[in-house]
A and B are shown apart, each in its own frame.
Chain A
Amino acid sequence: NAGVMQNPRHLVRRRGQEARLRCSPMKGHSHVYWYRQLPEEGLKFMVYLQKENIIDESGMPKERFSAEFPKEGPSILRIQQVVRGDSAAYFCASSPTKGRNTEAFFGQGTRLTVV
């Protein structure tokens, strides 16, 4: 039973390019959370999705960031026109049940570097 799979593990983008981060939840999990970890900071909530629905995007920057979790395939976090400040580790977590963080598992993260 594979865990939460994130890819790529490392991503380098030049300023102005787009970054696409993928998260495949554990088998049977239909809830996905994205978090961002900036250097010297704790993890910050970005967005909570269920299949085909965005439940809470209160942590998402208003511009350039979007997320989806289609019926088929992984969840995608998309960052358009990346800037140096977007450099961070992005983690997703999945859980099988709504509101049950104690059953959530984190992936290994995608480390985005903007040059």
Chain B
Amino acid sequence: QKEVEQDPGPLSVPEGAIVSLNCTYSNSAFQYFMWYRQYSRKGPELLMYTYSSGNKEDGRFTAQVDKSSKYISLFIRDSQPSDSATYLCAMSGSGANSKLTFGKGITLSVRP
């Protein structure tokens, strides 16, 4: 079993739709949970991060972490064509070795 599993894509939605992106993980030591957005041929850009369980909202984006189920989600409200990109979940522990473990990523396309 991989440490981080991300729902396979690609995903295509109409403009204005609510998008739900999900990841599961197996390592109980993960404490930080991140979502990155990566445009084609660019580097990953941190969208949001959550420490431990709970929800976090930033504009049209909401990140949820359920540590009991080892499940994290990113919701995008009122999706826009500019949200079209690859979304990567990533996780790390809180110790001195803070490398990130990434999911494979899912490519989202928002149709005008």
Contact = CB atoms under 8 A, between A and B. Distances in A.
Nearest to A103: B46
A100 interface: yes
B104 A107 contact: no
Interface residues of B, number: 27
A43 B6 CA distance: 13
Given A106-B45, A108-B42, A43 B102 contact: yes
B104 A102 contact: no
Given A43-B44, A101-B34, A107-B43, A55 B102 contact: no
A99 B95 contact: yes
A56 interface: yes
Contacts of A106: 36, 43-45
A4 to B, nearest CB: 8
Given A91-B43, A91-B44, A102-B34, A48 B97 contact: yes
B56 to A, nearest CB: 12
Given A42-B6, A42-B88, A102 B99 contact: no
Nearest to B92: A101
A35 B43 CA distance: 11
A28 B104 CA distance: 31
Interface string A29-67: 000010100001111110010000001101100000000
Closest 3 CB pairs of A and B: A106-B43, A42-B102, A45-B99
Interface of B: 4, 6, 32, 34, 36, 41-46, 49, 88, 90, 92, 94-105
